[in-house]
Amino acid sequence: MPEEAAATPPFLQEFLDHLRVERKLAANTLAAYGTDLKSYFRYLARAGRALEAVTAETLAEFLWARRTEGLKPASLLRLAGALKQFHRYLKREGHAAQDPTATLTGPKKPERLPNVLTEEEVRRLLTHAPSPPRFADRRFRAMIELLYATGLRVSEMVSLKRDQVDLEVGFVRAWGKGGKERVVPMNRRAIAALEGLLAERPVGPGAFLFAHPSGRPLTRVSFWQHLRRWARDAGVHRPLSPHVLRHSFATHLLANGADLRSVQEMLGHADISTTQIYTHVDREALKRAHRQFHPRP
């Protein structure tokens, strides 16, 4: 029997369907969980260990093995979470007599502050104007204006339809994780950029706002590739990911006096503790300023 078939129990798909339907997890998260659990099943198959014989020690050994293979802390944390949810599901549905993760001590969440641009670096990104001007460049600048104005996730932005954006009132309706809808205001610069874009190339109500000539939406990967080139040409010399504009949006709002609850609503965070990381970023900036400018450091 092929290793993949032996290592994958029949209730894996059942579990993933449960996460998709009941928990409404995003497709990317489901794919990550599936990959994590398949690596777990392959490990058990190589070790000759049946799933019903798994103990907390088995799980700890597997996590340690993945760590020594170079799995990053954040990925290790997600893997531990997938194992816990999977074994809890098996016990709850009667597929297993016990949950070996009940006594498992998982890896600690890494304390890593998000990468955030300075306001000057954002200004460089948003005022950069390639020459000769092309429609693709004007569209891209409108995209980064929108991201910085609203804090949308890149996946939410590239999937926007024309009727989700109200340029008269100045807001965007976005569907985040779990299909939750939220309404986020836009600033005048983002509205003007989108108005100019739509005046040049109108888009129908049900069509994607940012699309290829074929009508297909742009992808996150193509946006990331364009962002790297754009940042380099704009004189922003630091590693960038598409999420950095979302991080910068939240950090700059809080640094300029916005309240945490409002930022939580705009970001679409279910738990305010997720939003609080941006207050940590601001405190780090205060510490650096204090060390730099205090007369008696």
**Given strand 181-185, what is the order of strands in its sheet?**
165-166, 171-175, 181-185
CA neighbor of 124 nearest in space, from 263, 248, 275 = 248
The answer, yes or no, to whether residue 242 has pLDDT greater than 90, is no
Residue-level pLDDT at 187: 93
- Positive or negative torsion for Cα 268, 236, 139, 185: positive
Alpha-carbon Rg for the chain in angstroms: 23
Query: pLDDT band at 23, cuts 50/70/90?
Result: confident
User: Identity (one letter) of the amino acid at 184?
Assistant: V
Across 108-117, 195-204, 240-249, the highest mean pLDDT is recorded for: 195-204
Give dist(CA 179, CA 23) in Å, integer: 10
Strand partners, 184: 172
The answer, yes or no, to whether residue 40 has pLDDT greater than 70, is yes
Residue-level pLDDT at 165: 95
The answer, yes or no, to whether residue 2 has pLDDT greater than 90, is no
CA neighbor of 79 nearest in space, from 57, 55, 106, 42 = 106
Averaged pLDDT, 189-195: 95
Q: How do residues 70-94 score in pLDDT, each as one tens digit? A: 888 878 888 988 999 999 999 999 8
Query: pLDDT band at 199, cuts 50/70/90?
Result: very high
Residue 108: DSSP 8-state = P
Backbone angles phi, psi at 34, to 5 degrees: -60, -45
Q: Give per-residue burial for 67-81: e unless 16+ CB within 10 Å, then b.
A: eeeebeeeebbbbbe
Residue whose token pair is 């949810």:
85
Query: pLDDT band at 8, cuts 50/70/90?
Result: low
Query: pLDDT band at 274, cuts 50/70/90?
Result: confident
Averaged pLDDT, 178-183: 83
Our measurement of the distance from residue 75's CA atom to the centroid of its chain's CA atoms, rounded to an integer in Å, reads 13
Which of 23-27, 43-47, 165-169 is predicted with the least confidence, judged by mean pLDDT?
Answer: 23-27
The answer, yes or no, to whether residue 99 has pLDDT greater than 60, is yes
Q: At what angle do helices 244-255 and 135-150 cross, to 10 degrees?
A: 50
Q: Please, are residues 59 and 86 in contact by the beta-carbon 8 Å criterion?
A: no
Pick the CATH number of 3-103 from 1.10.150.130, 3.40.50.10800, 3.20.20.70, 3.40.720.10: 1.10.150.130
CA neighbor of 125 nearest in space, from 111, 114, 137 = 137
Residue 88 three-state SS: helix
Residue-level pLDDT at 110: 56
Query: pLDDT band at 7, cuts 50/70/90?
Result: very low
* Domains in the chain: boundaries: 3-103, 119-293
Query: pLDDT band at 111, cuts 50/70/90?
Result: low
Please give the positions annotated as active site.
Answer: 153, 177, 243, 246, 269, 278
Residue-level pLDDT at 290: 57
Reading the block at residue 254, the tokens are 């809080």
Q: Please, are residues 197 and 139 in contact by the beta-carbon 8 Å criterion?
A: yes
Our measurement of the distance from residue 74's CA atom to the centroid of its chain's CA atoms, rounded to an integer in Å, reads 13
CA neighbor of 191 nearest in space, from 260, 133, 240, 145 = 145
User: Identity (one letter) of the amino acid at 33?
Assistant: Y
| Superfamily designation of domain 119-293 | Intergrase catalytic core (1.10.443.10)
Which of 79-88, 112-121, 139-148, 281-290 is predicted with the least confidence, judged by mean pLDDT?
Answer: 281-290
Query: pLDDT band at 161, cuts 50/70/90?
Result: very high
Please state, rounded to an integer, the average pLDDT across all residues of the chain.
85
